[in-house]
Structure 1
Amino acid sequence: MGKIRIYADNACDLDKDILDEYGIKLMYITVTVKGKTYRDRLDLEPSRFYEMLEEPGVMPTTAQINPAEFQAEFEKVLKESDDEIIYIAFSSGLSGTYQSACIARDMLDPNRLTVIDSKSASVGYGLTVLRAAKAVQAGMSKAEVIKEIEDNIKRIQHIFIVGNFDMLKRGGRVSATSAAIGNLLNIKLILHFVDGKIIPLEKAHGLKKAKKRMLEIMDERGYELKNQVIGINHSNDLEGALIIKELIEEKFGCSQFVISEIGASIGSHVGAGTYSVFFLTPP
């Protein structure tokens, strides 16, 4: 009997030190900027991506991982070992990557290759992946690991503030008129995930009020927050993310955090000035 290998893709926005510590393997969604294609977080660091976004006329596009890439990677593992693979995918509501992995699974060995839709993005997705990897390290069986994953998917909350309406307009999330008015009036849109899709939740006037409301929503929805690993991410503003961390520490007594910068695969759709918090609801 081989071991269990956890795979994810770079839309989980986990930093390399976490990936290495827990043996998490990544597949790579690509982003194309000014005609050149990069593997997000491998060939293109988030900091450089946001510098590129400031250049005139830059309109990044992303591409899902295709079935052939999954097949090549997974086939190598299945042939060279007795190991089993659990691949946790970026939300199928936002990308076709999950479907690509399912095609590869069906072409290879569905008994040894499990594909799970995280219904999540960025560090919300990353926390599910991290919980799975910790379960593997703890010696849990495949069925137990899958149960851990499914519980996290069911309970994980994504609450985030998007800094610039223009990126949402390009993605079809808001109209051009709403984007123009939102930017002009300094309105911050608070969004959340419902069944793996991004849904507008509330509006706030100014970033300070939006952050305050974000913590209120944590209080309303969260469960024993001080005992959880809380996820925080940001796009091009680590200082702003650390302020949110301090507010969460003061309000809820939390001490465990995963803080990460949003990579290009997600950042292509939300832009700079975005902040998110991720936490669990009651079981």
Structure 2
Amino acid sequence: MVKILTDSTSDISPLLAKKLGIDIIPLSVNFTSDSYREGVEISPKEFFMKLRSAKKLPTTSQPSPEDFIAHFETAKKSGDELLTILISEKLSGTFQSAMIAKEIVGYDGIYVIDSMNTTTGLRLLVEHAVYLRGKGNTAQTILKNLNSAIPKVRLIAVVDTLEYLYKGGRLSLSKAVAGSLFSIKPIIRIKDGKVDVVGKERGANRAISALVDSVDPKSIDYSVPIYFGYTEKRELCNILMEETEKRILANDIRISEVGAVIGTHAGPNCCVLTYLSN
């Protein structure tokens, strides 16, 4: 049997994970002396309430190899093949923890996959794997498809400020300063597994329009859903969806509430568009 494991930065809720038939390993968010496992001990709503009152920006931490070993040992004992699809190695040490666990367990039926992405980009790949599994594909066939899809995933977002990405170590000081002048709303993307600033506009509405303008409708693979995401409040995401739907006729649209770990680095009032290019 083919099993699928991902991490909590996919922003797949426990309820949806159960429906999809997958397992999720949580990353953690740390407020001073208190640590919470994402999706288990803290919800997105609870996280942003804490973030607004926090005197110090929280930190995030990856799962330990031991967290993966339990899942890997179960797969080994049952003879299942396990596709483990994780946040970009360039954004988190989660992938490395999984690789250490795989070496300890010593089972060839475990496939650890660097998604080169996170949040809705990671969710897209996980749900694509679930779809392929449902069609009766083998783990090797699904892996081949995922490796082909990974460089084609496009995640673009408008963030309110680059402060959180800079303080969290996901962006350089020079790029953060450039995006913080004159109430500019930065446009970012995930490229080669890392965060990159691709534009900036004065005001959220202009930034959203610029984001949508950057997408060529002919470049989208419409056989895969288009994903939207947001941090804390959905208003900007709704605007992004409305602007996108004026120009792109999507067959399947899915929405994610971005959780605590990515929320730590993106901050409030972020909206995300993700699709698979052809």
Q: So what's the TM-score if we normalise by structure 2?
A: 0.93
Is 2:30–2:36's contact at 8 Å kept on the other side of the alignment? yes
What is the identity, as a one-letter code, of the residue corresponding to 1:22? L
Partner of residue 132 from structure 1, selected from 104, 129, 133: 129
Shift of 1:190: 0.9
Q: Distance in 2 between matches of 1:157 and 1:176?
A: 24
State the number of aligned residues: 277
1:73 corresponds in structure 2 to 71
2:202 corresponds in structure 1 to 205
Is 1:169–1:176's contact at 8 Å kept on the other side of the alignment? no
1:272 corresponds in structure 2 to 268
Is 1:228–1:254's contact at 8 Å kept on the other side of the alignment? no
Q: Distance in 2 between matches of 1:191 and 1:169?
A: 13
Partner of residue 36 from structure 1, selected from 30, 34, 37: 34
Deviations 1:219-247 (A, max 9, x none): 2783244x441111110122321222222
Is 1:165–1:174's contact at 8 Å kept on the other side of the alignment? no
Change (3 A) 1:221 1:162: farther
1:185 aligns with 2:196: no
1:255 corresponds in structure 2 to 251
Is 1:228–1:256's contact at 8 Å kept on the other side of the alignment? yes
Greater than 6 Å deviation, 4+ residue runs? none
1:170 corresponds in structure 2 to 167
Change (3 A) 1:15 1:177: closer
Q: So what's the TM-score if we normalise by structure 1?
A: 0.91
Q: Distance in 2 between matches of 1:194 and 1:242?
A: 25
2:138 corresponds in structure 1 to 141
Is 1:188–1:206's contact at 8 Å kept on the other side of the alignment? yes
Shift of 1:261: 1.2
2:23 corresponds in structure 1 to 25
SS at match of 2:229: strand
CA RMSD of aligned residues (A): 1.9
Which runs of 5 or more residues in structure 2 are unaligned? Answer: none
SS at match of 1:8: strand
Deviations 1:145-192 (A, max 9, x none): 11221122121001111112321231342438954x744511011111
SS at match of 2:53: coil
Q: Distance in 1 between matches of 2:151 and 2:6?
A: 18
SS at match of 1:62: strand
Which runs of 5 or more residues in structure 1 are unaligned? Answer: none
SS at match of 1:279: strand
Q: Distance in 2 between matches of 1:151 and 1:240?
A: 32
Change (3 A) 1:213 1:71: same
